[in-house]
Every structure is written in C-alpha cells, then in structure tokens.
Amino acid sequence: MVTDGRDYTRSLQVLVFITLLPLTVLPLTVNGQEGNLPVVAIIIDDMGNHRSLGEKFIELPYPLTLSFLPYRMHTKAQARQAHDAGKEVMLHTPMESSKGTPLGKGALHSSMSRPDLIASLRKQIRSLPFISGMNNHMGSGLTQNSEVMGWLMSELRQHPLYFVDSRTIASSVAAEVSRQNRIPTLERDVFLDHVISEEAIDSQFRRLLGIARQKGYAIAIGHPHAATLNYLTKTLPLLGEKGIALATISRLVNFNPQIITYPDQAPALAGKN
C-alpha cells in the first residue's frame, strides 16, 4: 500500500524520536542566541570500506550521518557500531556512473529490468539494519534517467525512509522524482573533500556555513579520509561559537518540516536566523 507524503513525514518523525533519544538534543539557545539557528548536517559517504578510519568517524562525539555502501567488508559490523554510538545510519546505494566507473556489488544500472532493479534495492535495504534514509553513490548516469528513477522511488516509498540526492551531476532528476513519489527529499549542497587538503576542506566548510546562514540549513557530504577526520575533529567543537547547530538528516527534517515539499506544495525554506 502506498502512503502519501504526510504519512511518511509522520512516520519519519516518530522514527527519529524513538531512535535518536540517546543523542544530545540540539540547543535551542547557543551563546545566548535564541530562535531558529542555522543548521548543518554532515553525511560521511563510503562507509564500510575502511575499518580503522570508519571506526574513528563513528567515535566522533557529534551527530553525524554515516552512509554505508552495501555488502562491503565492514558494513554490517560498523553500521551496528554506528547505531550503538548514536549515529544516524544511511544506505549509500551504488548507481551507474556516466563514466562507467566500477561500482561493486549492489550497483544499479539502467540496463536492469524494473523487477531486477527493485529486487536489488529491496535486498540492499533489508541487508543494512538501522537505516533512516538513502543517498546515491556515484550515479551521474542513472540519476539523469527519469524512468529508472521512477522505478527506484516506487520501491523506496514503500519504506519510512528519506532520500538525499548526492547531486553528482547538475542535471540529476533524482530529487524531483523522489518528491513526485512524496518521499521526504533533500539535496547535497557541498562536497567537503572533493580536493583532499585541509585548505580545500576549510574553504568548502566555510561555504557550507554561508549557505546555512542564507537559507537556514545546508547539507555537506564528506568521505572517510584522514584529512576530513582531522578537520572535523578540530572544527565541529567550534560550531556553537559560530551560532550554528549540527544535526543528523532526520533531526534536520524533524526540526524543520517545512523544508520538505512536494510538487503540489509551494516551496518553503527553513527560518533564517
């Protein structure tokens, strides 16, 4: 049975309340500032490949969203560790790249039949416990294909999950099709570590904060690199001083439900500080 978007949002909010109770609640007041603070959410992609670095990201004492590739060596064990540590767990579904990049087990391709693609996605969702949502790994090819995205979203909407379009290509239609299926949908604003250096990561992080201040929230995607880990370890403790709140994707949706819109609704932005 297909449920409309309002029911999905309610289900997601209940799921957030139940699963994230152990996390520290985002402050309503930071350094004397009250009201709607700008919020950033940070997704760490490609989890499950790297044991040591993956564990260090899990150990960070901040509300990060960790997105796990299916069927990788450390995925199941680290997804459970992440959940136990109060992190949010996502499915990082491999999708066809326009460059033909090898994607490993679980990759979704435009050459697949609709039943095969849906069966593959369903198996991935069932294989990874504790997930709250999904985003795409690669996908510059598949996310431009509105028909195949329609197949994918027809399955995703059967689950109380959100979707984040990683936007690996500007012409992606993934978010649009997701919204048409009334799935809670958000889009990546910034890649933190497309260039792996502290200077480049710092520049992207500052850009992230600027976007958050402008529209009320912003979403970054990083990866399990040592440079990213070191930068976040030094920088995240300072967000409160900057009047910025840090949230998982689910908490971002829960605190700002007006940012989730569907084709029959006028767009709305989170409140600006």
- Residue 267 belongs to some domain of the structure: no
Going by the DSSP 8-state scheme, the letter that residue 8 receives in this structure is H
- Rounded mean pLDDT of 45-66? 97
Please indicate whether residue 175 or residue 263 has the higher confidence score (pLDDT).
175
Return the sign of the alpha-carbon dihedral for residues 173, 268, 219, 155. negative
Q: CB-hemisphere CA count at 13 Å for 55?
A: 4
- Residue 197 belongs to some domain of the structure: yes
- Residue 272 belongs to some domain of the structure: no
- Given this model, what pLDDT does residue 240 score? 92
- Residue 158 belongs to some domain of the structure: yes
Q: Where are the beta strands (DSSP E) in 77-128?
A: 88-95
For residue 171, what are the domain limits?
39-259
- Rounded mean pLDDT of 62-82? 97
- Local confidence band at 265 (pLDDT 50, 70, 90 cut-offs): low
Does the pLDDT at position 18 exceed 50?
no
- Residue 13 belongs to some domain of the structure: no
Least confident stretch, 22-36, 48-62, 171-185, 211-225: 22-36
- Number of domains into which the chain is organized: 1
pTM summary value: 0.83
83 closest CA partner among 246, 221, 222, 248:
248
- Residue 149 belongs to some domain of the structure: yes
Does the pLDDT at position 6 exceed 90?
no
CATH code assigned at 186: 3.20.20.370
Q: Where are the beta strands (DSSP E) in 207-265?
A: 217-222, 245-247
- Given this model, what pLDDT does residue 139 score? 84
Question: pLDDT digit string (tens) for 75-101?
Answer: 999 999 999 999 999 999 999 998 888
The mean predicted confidence, pLDDT, of the chain is: 85
- Residue 100 belongs to some domain of the structure: yes
Q: CB-hemisphere CA count at 13 Å for 24?
A: 9
Question: pLDDT digit string (tens) for 204-224?
Answer: 999 999 999 999 999 999 999
- Rounded mean pLDDT of 180-207? 96
- Residue 178 belongs to some domain of the structure: yes
